[in-house]
Amino acid sequence: MSQHTAAAPSRVPVLSEEVREALAAGRPVVALESTIIAHGLPRPCNLAVGLELEALVRSEGAVPATVAVLDGVAYAGLDKSGLERIASGDGVRKLGHRDLAPALATGATGATTVSATAFLAARAGLRVFATGGLGGVHRQWAQSQDESADLALLARTRVTVVCAGVKSILDVPATLERLETLGVAVLGYGTDRFPGFYLASSGEPVDWTVHHPEEVAQVMAAQDVLGGPESALLVANPVAEAEQLDPELHDRVLAEALAECRERGLTGQAVTPFLLGFLVRATGGASLEANLAAVRGNVRLGARIARAWAARA
């Protein structure tokens, strides 16, 4: 680790002027992750998508706060130059919440995953975070013990996360069991089935269904009244059926990807990027389009929930 002698900022994360003013005025703010920009999409469309997602938040009457670390400083809210740096990919690390302290101490630049974004959003006083799909329990967990850091972090972080379920390459039933064990509440938005990221439904049931942003805000308020563990609230928002990946194509290609993964003997952190890349290639980019459709829907809904939450204040 190289030595980093810059003075630590007085506030972590540092808020953009726009986000700071919105919070001071009680206006709605939505946190956005940055790994989708740095590591989830090809260049140059990744920057365009980052700007588009911020514009979608604004079009719904809220303020976007894209979260990232630049030169050892964590930010909630980036200007265009900050987004461009994250989108360039040059030397941009992928930061989970465990990586934040080393990144700040060494002056690193990195894009934040779900766990790091949720952590920093909560530190900034942001209550709503919109993303694509969560990490979860990996297939063959009994052998690998591979589980995303997202789950444990959300069990102790008071933030509302709008997502399209968990990536279908994971063990969805085991992930839902783990969320139950950890005490993380899951709301199906307009559905009684847990979304399948690329698919509108994973086939797994959810216990609670809501239909309006105001209902989500009521659950958030009830969390605060109850007190207890500072756990997250997951709002599982399915991609529209018209925009989902064809289910038969999805199942066939995923089976091929898993078989190829086994043949290559891939394990640990190498598995997820391989499987996601395989799906993009084998579906002719259709999985990427479904991914983007899901993210756009989540960002819109996140802004509406943030508005409903701000209206209660």
Alpha helices in the chain, H assignment, sequence order: 17-25, 35-38, 45-59, 80-88, 100-106, 114-124, 141-144, 149-154, 172-182, 213-226, 247-264, 271-282, 286-312
Q: Is 8 annotated as a binding residue?
A: no
CB 245 within 8 A of CB 287: yes
Distance separating alpha carbons of residues 53 and 214, to the nearest angstrom = 22
CB 182 within 8 A of CB 151: yes
227-238 residues labelled b (16+ CB within 10 A) or e (exposed): eeeebbbbbbbb
Q: Is 90 annotated as a binding residue?
A: no
H-helix or E-strand spanning residue 95: strand 93-95
Q: Is 251 annotated as a binding residue?
A: no
Distance separating alpha carbons of residues 299 and 49, to the nearest angstrom = 12
* Residue whose pair of structure tokens reads 């990195």 in the numeric block: 110
- For the annotated catalytic residues, the residue numbers are 33, 167
Q: Is 59 annotated as a binding residue?
A: no
Q: Is 192 annotated as a binding residue?
A: no
Helix (H, G, I), strand (E, B) or coil at 240: coil
The first and second tokens of residue 169, run together, are: 């390459």
Distance separating alpha carbons of residues 71 and 78, to the nearest angstrom = 13
Identify the CA nearest to 70 among candidates 104, 31, 120: 104
Q: Is 148 annotated as a binding residue?
A: yes
Instruction: State the CB neighbour count (10 A cutoff) for residue 77.
Output: 26
H-helix or E-strand spanning residue 187: strand 185-189
Binding residues for substrate: 94, 114, 148-150
Binding residues: 94, 114, 146, 148-150
Binding residues for Mn(2+): 146
